[in-house]
Structure 1
Amino acid sequence: MLTLYGFSKVNRFARGKTRDLRVLWALEEMQLPYQIAGMDHPAHDLNAESYRHLSPFEQIPSIDDDGMAVSESGAILIYLAKKSGRLIPEDREGETQVLRWSFAAMNSIEPPLLNLMVLGWTSPDSAEKHREFLLGWSHRMLGNLERWMEGREYIATDAFTVADILAVHVLSVVPDEALLTPYPRVLAYRDRCLARPAWKRTFEAYCGRVEAA
């Protein structure tokens, strides 16, 4: 059976924002059977030698699918989509667009937003020049996404795909909701996807299982 390595306990400020939620959401949408191996982050479970063969960078999430080890949330989602035949088109053009926007979510949209969040955790009352730079970078990415979403319901194709899971998870953990206020299409897109029953079930189960350290 497929085993997902996800958090059982995580730092308080990260709870509800962790990337295992991306995989949990995908599994719920795909209705694939799996079991969870809970990892206690403060207890250094991720640093165990036994875990490094699954996740060389000692990160969550990772999966073990009957001996097939995959880490990195984007790679896991693409693997699961191809395995299940769901949330990714079968045609080459559609699959390429899903890959394109999966990479864009993680490599274009996420970096400035994630850096803003980390800056807020580590230097909440300083580094204003750095913060100003990251805000400008964030608004440039969000403005481009706002233009892209005109007339679109989903980011990559006409149907909901794993690219949407990645993009929406990135947008759901912004450090400040006010960042999204100037972008009504992006907000509507995010909220539309977060209204999906599979996400609601995923998040409720996560909150009931994962402890805050």
Structure 2
Amino acid sequence: MPYRLHGLDHTGGELDGDAYGDISCFRQVPVIDDEGFVLSESAAIALYLAEKSGRLIPPDFQGRTRVTQWCFAALATVELPLAQLQMLDNFGKGDAQLRVWLVAWAERVLGNLEGRLDGREWIACAGFTAADLLMAAVLREIRKTDLLDRYPAVQAFYGRAFARPAWSRTLEAYAQRHGVEVASIR
């Protein structure tokens, strides 16, 4: 689908103004404006684009519902301990007890995800869907840790998701926009 990207400088305050607050209640990215239909929240956008394009989502009701389930799981279940752990590691004050608790939570979630992916190529359905896109993006938060080492099915899923040509194009465009090397953001 054709699109135009409009980058914002969040460190420069572009997300803090009233105009942006009018289109994104929590003043976060991403937001899309599809000919006047404005939508925020990653999962909502991914599902909207999948439905509109007829791609990355099955045509049947139960298949679409399964994809929706795994979109929620990615952002509400899997991401929560991983994001908190990443924030603690990157910005925390070294609370060792909290880190132990977060690692245990993350390992429980990753263990369950491992079970789901055992013998499966993709998380929700036989083909790659919007749910895989979101789940892979969530797992990317911990790519520089050893948390995935005990989960070969999750690692294989992660590798398949990011081996897709669309992901390479996305990273290249992001690196070019920010004037950095692709290797620095892999």
TM tier, smaller: over 0.9
Ranges of 4+ aligned residues in structure 1 off by more than 4 Å: none
Match of 2:87 in 1: 118
* Equivalent of residue 169 in structure 1, options 125, 134, 137: 137
Aligned to 1:29: none
Distance in 2 between residues matched to 1:56 and 1:210, nearest whole Å: 26
Deviation at 1:175, TM superposition (A): 6.1
Counterpart among 133, 136, 160 of residue 192 in structure 1: 160
Residues 7-156 of structure 1: pairs in structure 2 closer than 5 A:
32-124=1-93, 126-156=94-124
* Residue of structure 2 in register with 1:25 after alignment: none
Counterparts of 2:140 and 2:28 in 1: how far apart (Å)? Answer: 20
1:54 and 1:63 in contact (8 A); partners too: no
* TM-score (norm. length: structure 2): 0.93
- The higher relative CO (CA closer than 8 Å, separation ≥ 6) is in 1
Counterpart residue identity of residue 43, structure 1: G
- RMSD, aligned α-carbons: 1.2
Q: Which has the higher helix share?
A: 2
CA apart distance, 1:211: 5.5
Q: Contact (CA 8 Å) 1:117, 1:175: kept in 2 or not?
A: no
Q: CA deviation at 1:198?
A: 0.7
Partner SS, residue 35 of structure 1: coil
Shift of 1:121: 2.2
Percent identity (aligned): 46
Contact persistence 1:112–1:134 (CA under 8 A): yes
Helix, strand or coil at the partner of 2:38 = strand
Answer yes or no: is 1:160 the counterpart of 2:167.
no
More strand by share: 1
Question: How many correspondences in the alignment?
Answer: 180
SS, match of residue 120 in structure 2 = coil
CA deviation vs aligned residue, 1:141-173 (integer Å, no higher than 9, x gap) = 000011111110000000000000000011112
Assess, with a 3 A threshold, how the Cα gap between structure 1 residues 203 and 33 changes in structure 2: closer, same or farther: same
SS at match of 2:169: helix
- Residue segments in structure 2 that go unaligned for 5+ positions in a row: 181-186
Matched residue, 2:171 = 203
Amino acid in structure 2 at the alignment position of 1:199? W
Paired residue secondary structure (1:46): coil
